[in-house]
Amino acid sequence: MLHVENGMLTGCVDIRFPVCTTKEAVLEQVQAAFAAKGFRCEARIQSDPHHTPKDTPFVQDLLAVYEEQTGTKGECIAIGGGTYVHDIAGGVAFGMEYPDWDYHMHGDDEFLPLEQLEENTCMMAAAILRICGE
């Protein structure tokens, strides 16, 4: 995003980066690229990538519940966007989406069929019971 005020151009860049690097290394690269074009770059807000390994007991419990509830093989996926668990160490986003469904995610007319909402609710309850030790 760019903003012009009082003859000064300022902007904001949102960069998502993998766990194999650091925010300091990314900032250094960005600052060098900006400096090469005569601009200055400052870091205002930064956060590290969020990652929870799939072999943790927590994730394995969630995968087991998913498989028990759906009858299909569960898998872990990583997304570049932020989630509601970004600042919760060891946390993961959990829920179900059916393959080949277009839910209009984060768009106009986003929806979830009532039957899938009910199934998702049952899965969440089963996950809570499993994690809390029934």
Tokens of 107: 């768009």
b/e map of 49-60 (b: 16 or more CB within 10 Å)?
Answer: ebebeeeeeebe
Tokens of 115: 């039957």
Q: What predicted TM-score, i.e. pTM, was given to this entire model?
A: 0.73
The pLDDT value recorded for residue 45 is: 67
Residue 134 in this model has a pLDDT that exceeds 70: no
Residue with the bigger pLDDT between 20 and 14: it is: 20
Residue 72 in this model has a pLDDT that exceeds 70: yes
Residue 112 in this model has a pLDDT that exceeds 70: yes
Strand partners, 3: 10
Residue 36 in this model has a pLDDT that exceeds 90: yes
Q: Name the strand (E) or helix (H) holding 5.
A: strand 2-5
Q: What does the pLDDT average to over 109-125?
A: 93
The pLDDT value recorded for residue 121 is: 95
Residue 35 in this model has a pLDDT that exceeds 90: yes
The pLDDT value recorded for residue 119 is: 93
pLDDT digit string, tens, across residues 87-108:
888 999 887 777 788 888 888 9
Question: Phi and psi (nearest 5°) for 75?
Answer: -145, 150
Q: What does the pLDDT average to over 96-122?
A: 89
